[in-house]
Structure 1
Amino acid sequence: MATHPQICGDGFSCGLDAALHLISGKWKPLILFFLRDGTKRYGELKRSIGGVSDKVLIQQLKDLEAHRVLARTDYQEVPPRVDYALTPLGRSLADALVPLCSWGAENMSEVASIVAERDTLP
């Protein structure tokens, strides 16, 4: 008989489920990582991340703002100037990703090898 995770009072099965709810998606963890260094404008953030389309980056930023993980400051200037910064909740979440970043750096060669091997499979 299969067992199902028990849902806690907040609707999540565990703390990891709650955290993943906020950072789900390919780009959100990278946004958090690059904002750890401080406030960034949209263009700086896009260049830091690389490979993300404007449409997707804008949506991911809106999601993170709606989840109170980052704050968006619009200076109401022409040309437009908008900054993004982590909230205290976002800072603590970004700090929690640091060990995962370290693991990735330590195992990057092996992961790259595994990915390359899988890409050659029929």
Structure 2
Amino acid sequence: MPINLNCGLDLIAEVLYGKWKIRLLWFINEGHKRPSELQRKIPDASRRVLNMQLNELEAHELIVKKIYPVVPPKVEYSLTELGKTLIPVIDKLGQWADDHEDHLRHVILK
């Protein structure tokens, strides 16, 4: 299926499509940088899916992965400057959902 990148909405959908990506960005911003910390914050996600989505966020240059040369290897993620610019947008989306929580919950659970 060809990727459609004709407008900003297409671009943001391509970059943030994935069940856990917004949460991953939010939690990394809060300081949860190690894969095990992120797994604890999102226990419903499998380690494999989290790793795939972290790799996609890294490929889109929203996060950077640092591997420390120790045994066992230590990995930490942090937001790039571009990734940091998404945090206010994610915050606004969360506020919108909080403002419409009852309605959204009702229509989702129908």
Length-normalised TM-score, structure 1 = 0.79
Question: Following superposition of structure 1 onto structure 2, how do residues 31-50 of structure 1 map, counting pairs within 5 Å?
Answer: 31-38=24-31, 40-50=33-43
Length-normalised TM-score, structure 2 = 0.86
Aligned to 1:114: 107
Q: 1:21, 1:114 → 2: CA distance?
A: 25
Structure 1 residue 76: Cα displacement = 2.0
Aligned to 2:7: 14
Aligned to 2:70: 77
User: The residue matched to 2:30 in structure 1 has which SS?
Assistant: coil
| Bigger mean CA deviation after superposition, 57-66 or 42-51 | 42-51
Aligned residue identity for 1:62: N
Tell whether the 8 Å contact from 1:72 to 1:85 is kept in structure 2 after alignment: yes
| RMSD (Å) for aligned C-alpha atoms | 1.6
Name stretches of at least 5 consecutive residues in structure 1 with no aligned partner: 1-10
Structure whose CA Rg is larger: 1
Match of 1:87 among 57, 75, 80: 80
Matched length:
107
Cα deviation code 1:36-74 (max 9, x no counterpart): 213511111111123100110000011111111100011
Tell whether the 8 Å contact from 1:40 to 1:83 is kept in structure 2 after alignment: yes
The percentage of aligned residue pairs carrying the same residue is 36
Q: 1:19, 1:56 → 2: CA distance?
A: 20
Matching of residue 53 in structure 1 with residue 15 in structure 2 = no
Match of 2:60 among 52, 67, 74: 67
Q: Which runs of 4+ in 1 moved over 4 A?
A: none
Tell whether the 8 Å contact from 2:32 to 2:38 is kept in structure 1 after alignment: no
Cα deviation code 1:58-116 (max 9, x no counterpart): 00011111111100011021222110110001111232211101111222232222222
